[in-house]
Structure 1
């Protein structure tokens, strides 16, 4: 999604009366050069000093500038968490944090580079929302929504994984990607794209209804009525997310169901661990966590 991000930010940067400033923690090489060329001195390499970068970003936002800060995901939210809390969140400053490689995106680099607790951690803070785009094509709209919001934002970038020749639906916080009469499934972010082919080929009466979620928390984007009706009708729900169980979207949604008196058996597929005996690609670690399409169908007795 980095190319699409760069293109969208270049368009924003060169717009009339743009007040945009972009900070990077010494990352983005071989991807963000067009943005650097378009922004000139408003493109700031803050170096390997993420805590300082976040405090500078907060100061720039305080001056009314359209401020974006970029790094790979764990260095964007984990290393400078205190500065995000104290300088951005508590002061209600609309800084846009961009974390590349959400989930197991940097899988082979081990647990220090996994971002599997990111939006759960950040959404404990006030005045914060998270974007988890599903497809590469979502990025321009996500940049616009995050940039126009009065809240601080965390953009969790991954890799769009739509099936070949799949018609990408227009962006929305909630989208139904596959229709069916079976157990509704909600998948957060790009993970949703990895399930489309496996689900679409099932008979309609058992085929799950697959929903993709791209914005958190729920109080900013409540669940669609159609999804809630499907949950009530089936009495079951499956949530899949490349995030640990603690602080997960599933935890928030389970509380949402209880508050609304909706009884449903919840199956939760999530990131099982930071540590594994062996490390591999994002695909490898998703499978190790039971987040791959085969594991999803197996746990729903559809394999």
Structure 2
């Protein structure tokens, strides 16, 4: 599908990913309809149907992402992440539009010995993970022409994220402790936006695709790169997760494989360290 001249509806358009996706799709020649919670309550099918016009592509970036809070509020998270995903997919099907659902590494337990392939069994550990896994299942059962794009460790200029938190804390405290036994792939929202557009433009088959940077890092590794970019010096010390217990369990291994995109000739995102160094001025400057 050539992107130029197509109409894209982005749900969750004011979020960190949504803003970059809208900008990148417009730069590639698409007409973008940006919808946020004031425009469509994704939890209600009628609200979504009334807000989404005739279009070629619907992308659902809306999500309940308060991972720890979801442990006490799973019903609300489910309404957004599962029911909402199904509602958006159903409307896309009714509009004969391609549907893209943004999902997460949290659908896995995080105990694989190698990068998770796209067809690995879902085994979420947390309430957030369960609701996102249910969202994937709702999309798959909707009958929509759908792409489920899983991402992880997302950061960007247009919202709260790990690099901003680390840079701010480093400036205020002068020393930081960050876990080194959780491994993943820091991913820039701009790169994920381009990847989603590339998948649609390549007209890949319906299915699951992984949109994360290449390589792998611990949060400690990423924090060291962040403080270096912020000009704060060597102020980060490694600790293990037992020293920083949080309400929701985190997958200790969040490395995702990219075979599906490669199979259909879609360029995958570059190494996380290189991409961070490209992103850092915009993310930390914001």
Task: Please classify the TM superposition score into its range, dividing by the shorter chain length.
Answer: 0.3 to 0.5
> TM-score when scaled to structure 2?
0.38
> Which structure would you say has the larger RCO, counting Cα contacts within 8 Å and 6 or more residues apart?
2
> TM-score when scaled to structure 1?
0.36
Bigger Rg, structure 1 or 2? 1
